[in-house]
Amino acid sequence: MSAIESVLVENRVFPPGEALTKAARISGMSAYEALCAEADKNPDEFWGRQARENLLWSKPFTRVLDESNKPFYKWFDDGQLNASANCLDRHIGTPVENKTAIIFEADDGAVTKVTYKELLARVSRFANGLKAHGIQKGDRVLIYMPMTIEGVVAMQACARIGATHSVVFGGFSAKALQERIIDVGAVAVVTANYQMRGGKELPLKAVVDEALSMPGCESVKSVFVYERTPTACTLAVGRDKTFTELLQGQSDECAPVAVDAEHPLFVLYTSGSTGKPKGVQHATGGYLLWAKMTMDWTFDLKDSDIFWCTADIGWITGHTYVAYGPLAAGATQIVFEGVPTYPDAGRFWQMIERHKCTIFYTAPTAIRSLIKASETNEKVHPKNWDLTSLRILGSVGEPINPEAWIWYHKHVGGERCPVVDTFWQTETGGHVITPLPGATPLVPGSCTLPLPGIAAAIVDEAANDVPNGSGGILVIKKPWPSMIRTIWGDPERFKKSYFPEELKGYYLAGDGAVRDAERGYFRITGRIDDVLNVSGHRMGTMEIESALVAKTDLVAEAAVVGRPDDTTGEAICAFVVLKRSLPQGDEAREIAKQLRDWVAKEIGPIAKPKDIRFGENLPKTRSGKIMRRLLRSLAKGEAITQDTSTLENPQILTQLDQTY
């Protein structure tokens, strides 16, 4: 049996190593418990102390938490600070100033390094370039960039002048870009001519051009283009400038603009269960505080560490653990442009060896695909590289199955490195439930216990606590500094989505979870709404359905569900009713391809359905509701146990059985 196909439950417990525990910032469970008790006893004092110790304030705050307008909590709100100053300037005049901030490895393997001092100069120059184009505090800047030092510089430069950035992952389509530009009201777009991924040159600027040619994007006055490759791209006169032009003659000194702690640092779009993506708004002070603290706590960061988070800056993981956390903590980090399978599936291991990486943080989907690759090709197995520099491993984005955990622990970590399975969300800003490497005994498949100050719990639909061992709804009972502040431009949706009345003011994560009877450890059982997790990326089923039915010449109706997939966690399965007769064979395959390409254009290639099934109609109840549970069973290939006697057209079950 393949390592990833088996579903064995792993009951072994992995206590933290003695040496690691001894030297850890949070050393042993008693230290963890003491922090939890402190946070519990007097949250204001606890968070106030942390905010004073971990951040530099231009104007000290006098109030910690303002709960006068729940659930619109405010933290440290009469204080002022600048996020970029807290990531860069704070290190100047300390030994960190000449430390390498970023080791950048390009897709082709070329390596560039910048020190903190150099990074500050680059960010300042970029910030001056933005200012020269009239961009100022409160403006929104959309960033559509490849994984590069320049991407981080653009984010930091926005923060430096108090502009709110909204990064869109380079895999999203022109249509998705247009929607976000309109929703956030961007005045400028920062992009690159192309991005390099897996040896291929993929257009970015052309996608921006397409988005800006669509209606509603008139707010965008400037486009700044990083010349990532020598290939030319078109530049609109008056609107577009290359980075060379933008930075020409700009000083590399720029005073950071102090903003209120609640000033929106960024808006990041994520999928919800209904409607269009939500612009998750984070505040400067609380967000940055937790980014810094979780670097120290979850990764037990030491001055000598070489930290590597493989996430793209287009996702929250790339915000908190690439663009902000490592810099605020003064770490040396690796930024990687490429993909884990190019030139072959040994790339991650080769890079860990090459850069002597000590803390490695990646997603289960990547681990599973690399396990698969190493099963068929010995040469890409991690054993071919020297990975002894590693001391801590991390996992993020989706549940990690015990088999993948054990493989990661054994073959990557040499049975020496704790695996921190970090549970969190775009909305939580940083880790909320996670082991601590020098304290928590690990159980594969469990994200273990909440961090100090995080009041995570499992409740039923009436907000009552459920006993350990029974599953329920994951909530966080008290506010914490890095929580989402609102949905950009839609406070009502914010309230409804995260603080539904039945839950008595608790924050609703949207996941199901269960705590084990013995230790009270949390295990996340998956989303309880119509959100799928495909390769660690959140996709709303409704969003994909809307995209499909927008193909009005072909599609009459569509329903999308998830099914388990042993590499991507979940896979997208679309059930489609066409406006024409039921297609068969090659014709059906051809239409399925058209639909996939269409979804890639509407949202992005990551939203392409893996399975497409056609039927003359969809299974519905008498009241006309689509029987989604039945569709999920069909998608999984399970025996149908639901009552199908009420189906108008029972033969559609046979039709819907065929996958294209």
Q: Is 423 annotated as a binding residue?
A: yes
Q: For residues 46 and 407, which CB has a smaller minimum distance to ligand WT7 in the complex?
A: 407
Query: Which residue, 240 or 398, is less far from ligand WT7 as judged by CB?
Result: 398
A 10 A CB-CB count for 408 gives 26
Report the nearest approach of ligand WT7 to the CB of residue 506 (Å): 15
Contacts of 51 (CB under 8 A, 6+ apart): 57, 61, 64, 75, 76, 79, 285, 289, 481
Q: Is residue 426 part of the contact set for ligand WT7 (CB under 6 A)?
A: yes
Q: Is the dihedral angle over the CA atoms 332, 99, 125, 78 positive or is it negative?
A: positive
Q: Does 555 belong to an annotated binding site?
A: yes
Known binding residue 63? Answer is: no
Query: Across-strand partners of 66?
Result: 74
In terms of CB distance, is 254 or 417 closer to ligand WT7?
A: 417
In this chain, which stretch among 136-144, 225-233, 248-256, 503-511 interacts with ligand WT7, using CB under 6 A? 503-511
- Closest among 64, 25, 27 to 42, alpha carbons compared: 64
The span from the CA of 91 to the CA of 330, in Å, is 7
- Among 527, 551, 596, 608, the residue binding ligand WT7 under the rule CB under 6 A is 527
Tokens of 13: 């417990």
CA distance 607 to 534: 9
Identify which of residues 119 and 176 has a Cβ nearer to ligand WT7 in the complex. 176
427 closest CA partner among 479, 350, 363, 361: 479
Q: Is 317 in the site for ligand WT7 (CB under 6 A)?
A: yes
Query: Is 180 labelled as part of a ligand binding site?
Result: no
Check whether 107 is labelled as a binding-site residue: no
Nearer to ligand WT7, 226 or 498 (CB): 498
Q: Which is closer to ligand WT7, CB of 250 or CB of 273? A: 273
How does strand 222-226 pair with strand 240-242? Answer: parallel
Name 281's bridge partners: 267, 486
From the CB of 423, what's the least distance to ligand WT7, in Å? 4
Asked, as a colleague might, if the bond just before 343 is cis with ω within 30 of 0, I would say yes
The least distance separating ligand WT7 from the CB of residue 316, rounded to whole angstroms, comes to: 5
Residue 448 binds ligand WT7, judged by CB under 6 A: no
Strand extents, DSSP E, 216-343: 222-226, 240-242, 259-260, 264-270, 278-283, 306-309, 332-336
Ligand-binding site membership of 317 (annotated): yes
User: Does residue 424 have a known ligand-binding role?
Assistant: yes
Q: What is the three-class DSSP state of 41?
A: helix
Known binder of ligand: residue 16?
no
Tokens linked to 347: 């790339």
CB of 245 to ligand WT7, least distance (A): 35
Told to check if 424 binds ligand WT7 by CB under 6 A, we report yes
Q: Which of 511, 543, 545, 602 binds ligand WT7 (CB under 6 A)?
A: 511
Is 511 annotated to bind a ligand? Reply is: yes
- Residue written as tokens 């996941």? 511
How far apart are CB 526 and ligand WT7 at their closest, in Å?
Answer: 6
Can residue 392 be called a binding residue for ligand WT7 (CB under 6 A)?
Answer: no
- CA 308, distance to chain mean position in Å, is 15
Residue 655 marked as a ligand binder: no
Pick between residue 343 and residue 526 the one whose CB is nearest to ligand WT7: 526
Residue 165: strand pairing partners: 141, 266
Quick note: the x/- pattern for ligand WT7 over 217-256, rule CB under 6 A, is ----------------------------------------
Taking CB under 6 A as the rule, does residue 195 contact ligand WT7?
no
Tokens representing 213?
């040619």
Based on the shown chain and the rule CB under 6 A, indicate whether residue 425 belongs to the binding site for ligand WT7: yes
Q: Mask 465-494, x = binds ligand WT7 (CB under 6 A)?
A: ------------------------------
The 3-state DSSP class for residue 119 equals helix
Stretch that binds ligand WT7, among 95-103, 422-430, 542-550, 642-650 (CB under 6 A): 422-430
Identified binder of ligand WT7 from the candidate list 142, 153, 212, 316, rule CB under 6 A: 316
Measured between alpha carbons, how far is 611 from 231 in angstroms, rounded to an integer? 36
> Has 422 been labeled as part of a binding site?
yes
- The window from 2-10, 391-399, 582-590, 630-638 that contacts ligand WT7 (CB under 6 A) reads 391-399
524 in contact with ligand WT7 (CB under 6 A): yes
Select the span of 164-172, 213-221, 419-427, 614-622 touching ligand WT7 (CB under 6 A): 419-427
CB 609 within 8 A of CB 591: no
What is the H or E stretch that residue 210 is in? Answer: helix 205-212
Per-residue contact flags (x/-) with ligand WT7 for residues 532 to 561, judged by CB under 6 A: -x--x-x-----------------------
Please, are residues 28 and 440 in contact by the beta-carbon 8 Å criterion?
no
User: Tokens in use for 58?
Assistant: 């231009």
Nearer CB in complex with ligand WT7: 46/424: 424
- Give the three-state DSSP class for 295: helix
DSSP 357-400: -SEEEE-HHHHHHHHHHHHH-GGGSGGGS--TT--EEEEESSPP
Burial grade of 11 (CB within 10 A; 0-12, 13-18, 19 or more): exposed
CA dist., res. 488 & res. 497, Å (int)? 13
398 binds ligand WT7 (CB under 6 A): yes
Annotated binding site: 197-200, 317, 397-399, 421-426, 511, 527, 535, 538, 549, 555
Annotated binding site for CoA: 197-200, 317, 535
Q: Where does this chain bind ligand WT7 (CB under 6 A)?
A: 270, 316-317, 396-399, 421-426, 447, 509-511, 524, 527, 533, 536, 538
